Structure 1
C-alpha cells in the first residue's frame, strides 16, 4: 500500500514520473475516487489529479472529502500537493515556488470538515501549523539541491472561484497579509489535517494577481506557466521523496486530533 500521495493541481496531470502505473478506485462515504498508483525509486506512490485528468472539475466542485478520505483509507501517511497561484507579493515572481505555511480562507460554499456532528462527534482541530514542518523542510532541502528558487513560507489566500479575483479583492487580501491567491488549497489542507496525515503544498507562481498584472488574467496563461515549469515541480517532488528519510521527522501530524479519539475509518 502506498504511504505517499501526490495531489496534482493545474498543469500537473501526468503521473508518468512513476513506473508500473495502474489504475485504482475506491468507494468512500462521499463518492467514488479514481486514482493511479506507481513506483518511484522503489517507493509506491498514489497520484490524484485534483481537477481530473483533463481539468474538467472546477475548484468549487472538487470532492475534497472523498479525495482525502480515499488517500487515508489506502494507507497514505504523507501528501505532497501542488497548486498554481497568483502573486500579491513582489518578491514572489512568476516561475517561483513557495512552500506555504499559512492560509486565509475566503471560500463560501465548501464543507471544510469530516465532523459535522451527525454521529455525535464534534472536532475542533488546531491549525496553528496547517502544513507539515517535516515535509516543508524536505522540500526546502530538495529545492536547494536542485537549484530551484523556493520561498520558505507564505500565506495562501483561498478564494471560491472559478472566477479570478477583482483588483479590489486583491488589495484587501494583501492588506490582510496574503502573499498568494488560489482556489483549491482549502479545505484540502484542513481535511488532511483532520485525517492526521502529513501534508505540504508546493505553490507555483504563474502570474501577478489582478490589479498588479498589467494585462487581463487568463487560464491559458496559468497553464502555459505550469507547463513551462512542469519539469521543475515534478523534479522537486521526486527529489523530496528521495530525501524523506534524510531530514529528521519532527511533526505531530499523526496525532492532530488525538484529543478527540483520532481519525478512524
Structure 2
C-alpha cells in the first residue's frame, strides 16, 4: 500500500511563514513538545496540489530567534507529530565561489560542522545517526530538476560550512573555508539535518545564495543590508521551486524510502 505523504516546510530567512504558495490556508495551534516550544505556537497549514503542507518559520514569526537559539528538536518533533514524512527547507547562505553568485539557488549535499555552542543535538542519550548522505538524494534531484525547468541558475551537490553565528565570518575564516573546498557558508544546517535523520524524515534543503561572504575583493562584504537586497528575488525563486517540487513528490511512491529511513533511525539508537 502506497504511503500517504505530508510535507513540512521550514522556511529560513526570507521565507519564514510565507503562506502565499498554499491553498485552503489556516492557522493551527501546536502544543509544547517534550523538547519545549517550537519557533512559533501556531503553524500555517494548507495544500499544494492536494498534498497537506505545514509551514514553520525557523526563526519565528518576528524573526527574533538566532541560529544558536532555534529549538530545532521542538520544530522537527512538531512536524513529525503532525504526520509529516518530508521536510523541505530553505537556508540563506553566502557563496565561497565566484561561479555561485548572489541570486542563484543551490542544492545542499554535505555540511562541515563549525558550531560549538548549540545544545539539543539529539533526541536520545546516545544515537549514532549515519551522515554520509545527510540530505535525501531523491529530493535533491527533484529540487534541481524543478529549478532548471523554471530557468533558474541552480548549483547541485553543494557543500556548506555551518558556522555558529549570528555574527558573519571574518576574512580569515572565509578564506579558510574556501581552502577546504566548501561552496557555501550558512548558520542553520546543524543540528537540523541530523535531527531530521534521527526521526526518519525525508529531508533536503534549498540554499538561497545572498552574498559572497567577505572574501570577494570586488563585492561588498556580507551584511544585513547586502543580504536583504538579494533576498526578495531569490526567495521568490525558492517558493516556485518548492511548489514545482511538491507536485513531483506527489507522483512518487515513497513507501520503501520511508521504511528504510525509519529502520536506519531505529538502528542508530544506543540509549534512550
Q: TM > 0.5 between the two?
A: yes
The two structures, once aligned, show a CA RMSD in angstroms of 2.2
Q: Give the deviation of 1:85 after TM superposition.
A: 0.5
1:74 lines up with 2:82 in the alignment? yes
**TM-score of the superposition, structure 1-length normalised?**
0.91
Aligned equivalent of 2:114: 106
Aligned equivalent of 1:233: 238
Structure 1 residue runs of 5 or longer lacking an equivalent are none
Contact 2:5 2:86 in 1 (8 A): no
Contact 2:67 2:164 in 1 (8 A): yes
Say which of 144, 147, 168 aligns to 2:148: 144
- Aligned mates of 1:39, 1:220 — CA distance in 2: 33
- Aligned mates of 1:192, 1:63 — CA distance in 2: 13
3-state SS of the aligned residue for 2:87? strand
Q: For residues 53-68 of structure 1, what are the structure 2 equivalents within 5 Å? A: 53-68=61-76
Contact 2:73 2:195 in 1 (8 A): yes
Aligned equivalent of 1:161: 165
3-state SS of the aligned residue for 2:52? strand
Aligned length: 260
- Aligned mates of 1:2, 1:38 — CA distance in 2: 14
Q: Give the deviation of 1:247 after TM superposition.
A: 5.6
**TM-score of the superposition, structure 2-length normalised?**
0.89
**More displaced 10-residue stretch of structure 1: 243-252 or 68-77:** 243-252
3-state SS of the aligned residue for 2:37? strand
Distance 1:186 1:96, change over 3 A: same
- Aligned mates of 1:246, 1:42 — CA distance in 2: 12
Aligned equivalent of 1:217: 222
- Aligned mates of 1:188, 1:204 — CA distance in 2: 17
Q: For residues 1-265 of structure 1, what are the structure 2 equivalents within 5 Å? A: 3-13=6-16, 14-24=18-28, 25-33=30-38, 34=41, 35-111=43-119, 113-117=121-125, 122-212=126-216, 214-246=219-251, 251=257, 252-260=260-268
Q: Give the deviation of 1:234 after TM superposition.
A: 0.4
